Structure 1
């Protein structure tokens, strides 16, 4: 798959296996999603640019590296995206946050937007869009399009699981946006769910159906 990074770290794969298990509790699923978000955040931010600044340690003054430029924006596709968002904010608490309310019509599988709020200067920041599943990719594509309309021009997409069909469709729509995921599964079923997958991430996180 072009333009896709699969994060195959052993801890990521171990936690993902537990999350796939239908016997994993709601509380356990939430904790694991937050923990795996930490690990995925390391990978999606691996190449952030640094600059040297002068600081005083208890012993002497040194030149030390710090993040360069404006703070990141994490853009969560509601509602399931918040599961990844919380873990990523643990690592980058100063990041700005955008919320994109999109749900998938279960009849047409098309995205329906109901909410959008983002920082005004989003054009000047790296935007990392988060959603646990890249299935049909319709919601992800719509979210990226909405962010681009607001001026975002440096974007990455982070998910927990992806389907080959979704990756292909997303790459065709947004070839300039790299995808980071913990796994690319077999296929989509007739209802647009990733197989073998882990079910509906939002339902498993919040105990809904």
Structure 2
């Protein structure tokens, strides 16, 4: 079974509360999402392997640690997942970025794929899938399926807010994929929106409310 990591650092919880407020403007919402994504990235990459390297400091030669050549792909689920990319790229500037396009059918609430462009060599990369909201889990599972078709074995799902229903679906469908979230909310409503949630993340990021 995959592991659910709830990253409940006080600064993340504080910023997330501001994001939930319906009066928070898009500009502030985007900035806070950037900041939270950067902070969550530290936990997503906590287990990166290290190697010893020799460095000459201004005072002496020392044996120190560097990341051991880990290749990373950041793959946002369009469109809302785009809001989490810049924070992660600030942390991992050499990461390649791919894109998976899915939209939700408003009648069936099921994800419909329309675009997929991933970096080369995904089978040798660790993939961080980003989507602010993990609601039913349908989009996340479909996106994970697309990434797995490339041969990628190390996939991590990074979301801002999750519903218990979405967490269960991902864990049952993809037990090898760990989930990183800032909060697990109460439930989904009849329209499959997370409660208390923060509304439609894409609309709030891009001001299309």
Cα distance between partner residues in 1 of 2:3 and 2:42: 18
Map of 2:172 onto structure 1:
172
Cα distance between partner residues in 2 of 1:135 and 1:34: 20
Query: Which deviates further from its counterpart, 25-34 or 58-67?
Result: 58-67
Q: Does 1:204 align with 2:192?
A: no
The Cα of 1:114 is off from its aligned counterpart by 1.2
Q: How many pairs were matched up?
A: 209
Offset from partner CA, 1:30-54 (integer Å, 9 cap, x none): 1100011111111111111111112
Map of 2:8 onto structure 1:
8
Q: Does 1:23 align with 2:20?
A: no
TM norm structure 2: 0.97
Map of 1:114 onto structure 2:
114
Alpha carbons 2:2, 2:175 under 8 Å: kept: no
Give runs of aligned pairs for residues 121-140 of structure 1, distance below 5 A: 121-140=121-140
SS in 2 for 1:24: coil
Give runs of aligned pairs for residues 60-209 of structure 1, distance below 5 A: 60-209=60-209
Cα distance between partner residues in 1 of 2:51 and 2:106: 47
- Which structure 1 segments of 5+ residues have no match? none
Cα distance between partner residues in 1 of 2:115 and 2:86: 19
Cα distance between partner residues in 2 of 1:152 and 1:140: 15
The Cα of 1:170 is off from its aligned counterpart by 0.9
The Cα of 1:2 is off from its aligned counterpart by 6.4
Cα distance between partner residues in 2 of 1:15 and 1:192: 24
Cα distance between partner residues in 1 of 2:118 and 2:68: 21
The Cα of 1:144 is off from its aligned counterpart by 0.2
TM norm structure 1: 0.97
Q: Supply the RMSD in Å over aligned alpha carbons.
A: 1.2
- Which structure 2 segments of 5+ residues have no match? none
